[in-house]
Amino acid sequence: MSPLAGQAPMTKKRLVVARPRRRAWFRREIGSVVVALVFATMIWVAVGTRITDSGSAGDVSVVIVPPPGMTYQCTTPRLPWDVAPTVTLHFSGPKERVRETVDAADRIKVTIRPSAGSIQPGQPQTFVIDDKLINLPEPLELVRAEPRELQIVFDIDVDRDAVVREPDGLAPPAGFRFRSKSFRPARARVRGPASILDGFLTQRGGEVVCRPFVPPSPRSTSSGEQSLAVDFDLPPGIDVTGDVQFFYQLAPDYVHRTFELPVHILMSSENAGKVRVTPERRTVKVEIIGSDEALERLAAELARGKPPVQAYVDLREKTFPETAPGEKRDDLAIVQLKLPSTRTELKDVKLPADTRFDYEALENWRFTYETVKKTP
Dist CA 70 CA 81 (whole Å): 11
Quick check: 24 pLDDT over 80?
no
Q: CA 200, 202, 207, 212: dihedral to nearest 10 degrees?
A: -40
187-207: average pLDDT: 94
From first CA to last CA, the distance across the chain in angstroms is 204
> CB of 265 within 8 A of CB of 368?
no
- Edge-to-edge strands of the sheet including 245-252? 176-184, 245-252, 226-229
pLDDT higher for 95 or 111?
111
Quick check: 201 pLDDT over 60?
yes
Instruction: Report the percentage of the chain scoring pLDDT > 70.
Output: 77
Q: How many residues does the chain have?
A: 376
Strands 355-358 and 283-290: antiparallel
Other residues' Cβ atoms within 10 Å of the Cβ of residue 307? 19
Dist CA 29 CA 22 (whole Å): 10
pLDDT of residue 350: 41
Q: Which among 321, 317, 314 has a CA at the least distance from the CA of 371?
A: 321
Quick check: 248 pLDDT over 70?
yes
Q: Crossing angle, helix 10-51 and helix 95-103, to 10 degrees?
A: 20
| Confidence bin at 347 (pLDDT 50/70/90) | very low
pLDDT of residue 87: 95
Residue 100's Cβ-count burial label (10 Å; 0-12, 13-18, 19+) is middle
One-letter amino acid at 57 equals: A
Dist CA 23 CA 18 (whole Å): 9
What are the pLDDT digits (tens) for 106-156?
A: 889 999 999 988 988 989 999 999 999 999 988 899 999 999 999 999 999
According to DSSP, residue 263 is labeled E
Quick check: 354 pLDDT over 70?
no
**pTM here?**
0.52
Dist CA 18 CA 31 (whole Å): 22
pLDDT of residue 15: 45
Which range has the worst mean pLDDT, 20-24, 75-79, 96-100, 147-151? 20-24
Q: What is the mean pLDDT of the chain?
A: 81
pLDDT of residue 364: 75
Quick check: 355 pLDDT over 90?
no
> CB of 88 within 8 A of CB of 146?
yes
Q: Which residues are registered as beta bridge partners of 124?
A: 153
φ and ψ at 104, to 5 degrees?
A: -120, 45
What are the pLDDT digits (tens) for 282-339?
A: 887 777 777 677 777 778 877 887 767 778 888 998 889 888 888 899 998 888 877 6
- The structural domains of the chain, ordered by start, are 52-156 (2.170.120.30), 158-252 (2.170.120.40), 255-371 (2.170.120.30)
pLDDT of residue 281: 82
